[in-house]
Structure 1
Amino acid sequence: MALDGEGLLARLRTELPGLPEALQRVAELILRDPEEAAQSTIVDLAERSGTSPATVTRFCRTLGFRGYAGLRVAIATEIGRAAQARWEIDVDRDIAPDHPLQRVLGVIVNADTQAIRETADRLDLTAVEVVASSIAESIGSGRRVEVFGVGSSAAATTELVFRLQRLRVACWHRAEAHSALSSAALLRPGDLAIGVSHSGRTREVIEFLSEAAEHGAMTVAVTSYPRSPLAESAELVLTTETHETSFRLAALSALHSQLLVLDLVYVAVAQRSHPAVDEAFELTARAVQTHRLPEHPIRKGKHR
C-alpha cells in the first residue's frame, strides 16, 4: 500500500537503517532537502544521490509507490501540510547543558507532539480494530491476553495491562523473560500476545511472540520499525514514531507514542465492552474509595 504524504519523511527516517545502501543514499538526499527533492526530476535525484534512475524507481516501489511521480507528490503534500500547520519538518532537538528550562521544555514538547501526530497519521486502524475486538471477545471467555516489553517499553505494557484488567480482561504483563516465555508456551488459539519494542530487535520480545505464535495465539507487534524481526514474527503490526532529542535516545523518546497506540487499543476495547465497562469502573472505584482523602469544598474569600 502506498504511503500518503503524511508521515512519509518520518517513515524514511525510521526505515533508513534497514534499507540497502543505494536506497539509503536516495533517502538521505530526500531527508536533507525535501523541497528540492520534490522539484527534482528522477534523473537529477539519481545523479545527486550517486545512483541511477532505476535505483530511484526501485526506491519508490519499496515505499509502495508505482513510480517517481507518486513519490514527488507525497513529498510535496507533506511539506504543504507541515507549512500550513506551521510545523517544522526537522524539529530542533538539540539541548545543551546550559539551556534554560523554557527552551528544554519547548524542544521536548515539539519532538513528542510531532512523534504523536506522525504515529496517528501512520497507524493502521484496521489492525487496531482487530486487536481490540479480539481482546473484547476474550472477556469472560477464558481466553488470555499476554503483554511483554522490557526496558522503557515495559512502562507502556504495564500501563496497558493495568487498564485492561479494570475491564475484566484476563491480561498479564510478565516482568522477566523466562516468565514471559513460560506464559507464552501456555497460550492457545484464541489467546492474544502483544510484544512492544521500539527497535523491533529486542531478542526477548521476539522470542516471546514467536513462542506464542507456535502455540496458535494471535500475535501483535508494537514497534517503530515495520520491517524489523519483531514485526516479521507478528500477524499484526502497530507502528509508532519517535523523535530523539539530546539526553533522550529513541527508545526513551518512544514511550509517548507507544502509550498513544496502546491507549487507543484500550479505549476501543472499552467501547466494545459497554455497558459492562461502567459496572466494572463503579466496582473498582468503590473498592479503593476508603484509600482516598475526603474532598473539602473550596473556601471562598479570606480565611477567618
Structure 2
Amino acid sequence: MNSILKIKNLKDSFTDSEGRIADYIIENKEEVCNLTTGELAEITETSPASVIRFAKKLGYSGFQELKIAIAKDTPKYEMDIEKLYEAITLQDATEEIMEKVAIENIKAIKDTITLLNKEIIDISVEAIDKANYVNIFGVGSSGLVGEDLQYKMVRIGTKAGFHPDPHLQIVSASNMQEGDLAIGISHSGRTKETFNALKIAKNSGAKTISITKYGSNPVSDIADIKLYTTEVERHLRMGAISSRIAQLTIIDILFINLVKKNYNKMQEKIIKTGNLIDNLKIN
C-alpha cells in the first residue's frame, strides 16, 4: 500500500506524538526524505525512539525504509495535484464547490482502489455466489449503499435482503444460519446497530463481510472477510458524501465480478428485469 495513504488511514490509531509525526510527513513529503531520525524528532517535538516506533507501526524496519517508501510513492506530479484537494468553505462560489466535490469523490475512489486486495475481492465474490441468502446491514448513508447492493443482487437472482429499520436488521440477523452471508456496511466501523446485527448474524452461523474505512474497528474486527474504503477528510460533511462514493465503488466492483463469474446464467435475468422496468417508464 502507498506509504502516505497508509499514514492517513491509520491516523485514528496514533498516539499524540505519532500524530505529530504523521501530520508533518503528510504536509512535508519532499522535505522529510532528507531528514535524519533526530531532525524529524526535533521538528515534531518527539524523540528518535518515537520516530522509529512510528515507522515500525507502519510495517517498516525503521525510518530509513519509511523514507525510501515515501520517495517511491510520491512522484512530483502527485505532490502538485494534491494541492487541488482543498476543503470546501462557506465562502466558495458554486463553480468552486462543483469542482471540489468532483475532486474529492475522484480521490475517494482512487484511494479506495489502492486499498483493495484482488484476492479479498475474489473471496468476497465467491462467498456471495455460494450463499443461500445474503443479508445486508447498514444505517444512514451506509444504509443507502446497502439498499443499492440489495437491488443489484435481486436483479441477478441472488436472494438478498435489506431492512431500513435497525430493529428489523437485528431480528433478521437472528434468523440467519450456516450457509448464509451477512454484509455489514459502516464507514467508521463503529456504528452500534451495524455491529450488533453483524455479530448476531455471525453467532447464528452466517459468514460475514465488513465494508469499513481502513484499520481496526469493531465491525471489521468481527468480520470473516474485510473490505476497506479510504479514510475521508470531513469538511462541511464532505466525508459523508465521499465515503458513500467509496462504498458504492466497492459494491459495483463486487457486482460486476459476480455477473462476470456467472455471465451466461445472469445475463438472461438482467435482460428480463431490465425489460420489466422499461415497461414502467412513461413513453
| TM-score where L is the length of structure 1 | 0.86
The corresponding residue for 1:302 is: none
Once the two structures are superposed, the pairs formed by residues 274-289 of structure 1 within 5 Å of their partners are 274-289=263-278
Question: Comparing 198-207 with 71-80, which one deviates more in the overlay?
Answer: 71-80
The corresponding residue for 1:119 is: 112
Of 17, 24, 28, 1:29 maps to: 24
User: What is the Cα deviation at residue 291 of structure 1?
Assistant: 1.5
Is 1:58–2:47 an aligned residue pair?
Answer: no
Once the two structures are superposed, what CA deviation does each residue of 1:266-285 show, in whole Å capped at 9, x if it has no partner?
11111111101111012212
Percentage identity across aligned positions? 26
User: What is the Cα deviation at residue 121 of structure 1?
Assistant: 0.8
Return the alpha-carbon distance in structure 2 between the equivalents of residues 36 and 85 of structure 1.
12
Is 1:14–2:9 an aligned residue pair?
Answer: yes
Q: Between Structure 1 and Structure 2, whose CA radius of gyration is higher?
A: 1
Return the alpha-carbon distance in structure 1 between the equivalents of residues 216 and 141 of structure 2.
21
The corresponding residue for 1:300 is: none
Return the alpha-carbon distance in structure 2 between the equivalents of residues 144 and 209 of structure 1.
14
The corresponding residue for 1:219 is: 208
Is 1:156–2:151 an aligned residue pair?
Answer: no
Return the alpha-carbon distance in structure 1 between the equivalents of residues 142 and 225 of structure 2.
18
Please tell me the root mean square deviation across aligned C-alpha atoms, in Å. Answer: 2.0
SS of 2:156's equivalent? coil
User: What is the Cα deviation at residue 172 of structure 1?
Assistant: 0.8
Query: Given residue 89 of structure 2, which amino acid in structure 1 is its aligned partner?
Result: I
Of 79, 82, 86, 1:88 maps to: 82
User: What is the Cα deviation at residue 69 of structure 1?
Assistant: 2.3
Return the alpha-carbon distance in structure 1 between the equivalents of residues 15 and 235 of structure 2.
28
The corresponding residue for 1:133 is: 126
The corresponding residue for 1:299 is: none
Asked if the contact 1:148–1:180 (Cα under 8 Å) also holds between the matched residues in 2, the reply is yes
The corresponding residue for 2:246 is: 257
SS of 1:193's equivalent? strand
Once the two structures are superposed, what CA deviation does each residue of 1:171-223 show, in whole Å capped at 9, x if it has no partner?
11121222111111122222111111111111111111111111222111111
Asked if the contact 2:177–2:204 (Cα under 8 Å) also holds between the matched residues in 1, the reply is yes
Return the alpha-carbon distance in structure 1 between the equivalents of residues 250 and 79 of structure 2.
23
The corresponding residue for 2:103 is: 110
Once the two structures are superposed, what CA deviation does each residue of 1:20-53 show, in whole Å capped at 9, x if it has no partner?
2232222122123122222211221222222222
Asked if the contact 1:200–1:225 (Cα under 8 Å) also holds between the matched residues in 2, the reply is no
Question: Comparing 215-224 with 192-201, which one deviates more in the overlay?
Answer: 215-224
**Which 5+ residue runs of structure 1 have no aligned equivalent?**
295-304
Asked if the contact 1:116–1:260 (Cα under 8 Å) also holds between the matched residues in 2, the reply is yes
Q: Which has the higher helix share?
A: 2
Is 1:73–2:68 an aligned residue pair?
Answer: yes
Once the two structures are superposed, what CA deviation does each residue of 1:3-31 show, in whole Å capped at 9, x if it has no partner?
3xx3x323323321222223222212212
Asked if the contact 1:166–1:284 (Cα under 8 Å) also holds between the matched residues in 2, the reply is yes
Return the alpha-carbon distance in structure 2 between the equivalents of residues 116 and 242 of structure 1.
11
**Which 5+ residue runs of structure 2 have no aligned equivalent?**
none
| TM-score where L is the length of structure 2 | 0.92
SS of 1:115's equivalent? helix
Once the two structures are superposed, what CA deviation does each residue of 1:131-176 show, in whole Å capped at 9, x if it has no partner?
11111123xxxx1111111111111111111001111111111212
User: What is the Cα deviation at residue 246 of structure 1?
Assistant: 4.0
